[in-house]
Homo-oligomer: A and B are copies of this chain.
C-alpha cells in the first residue's frame, strides 16, 4: 500500500510572506521520520497507512493553530494498493516513457 499525500497549509492572516510558518511544518515533518519531498508548491509525504497520513495533517495544523486565526490548506491523495516507494517510482515511470524530466 502506498499513500501519497501532497499538501500545503498556511495562515492567511499573517500577510504576504508565510515562509516562517511553512518552515515550522516542514521541520515537524522532517523530524517525524516520514518519507517526504519538498516542492515549490507543497510537501509530498508517502505513508503505508491512512492513519499515518492523517496524523501528518493533524500535526501540521497543531503547528499553526496557536498563532494563526485563519488557516487554509489544499491537499490531494493518490492511494494505490500493491505498490511502494512511489515518491521515486512515479517519476521514473514517466521518465521511461519520455526520456527525461524537468530542467
CA distance A50 to B57 in the complex (A): 9
CA distance A93 to B16 in the complex (A): 14
| Given A41-B4, A98-B27, A102-B36, also A78-B82 (CB < 8 A) | no
* Shortest distance from the beta carbon of A69 to any chain B beta carbon, whole Å: 5
CA distance A102 to B45 in the complex (A): 10
- Chain A 51-103 interface residues, beta-carbon cutoff 8 Å to B: 51, 54, 57-58, 61-62, 69-82, 86-88, 90-91, 93-94, 97-98, 100-103
Count how many chain A residues have C-beta atoms less than 8 Å from C-beta atoms of the other chain.
Answer: 61
- Measured CB to CB, the nearest residue on chain B to A93 is B19
A8 in the interface (beta carbon within 8 A): yes
Partner of A6, one of B41, B46, B78, B80: B41
* Shortest distance from the beta carbon of A11 to any chain B beta carbon, whole Å: 9
Per-residue B-contact encoding for A35-52, CB less than 8 Å = 1, 0 else = 111111110101000110
3 smallest beta-carbon distances between A and B, as pairs:
A6-B41, A13-B16, A23-B97
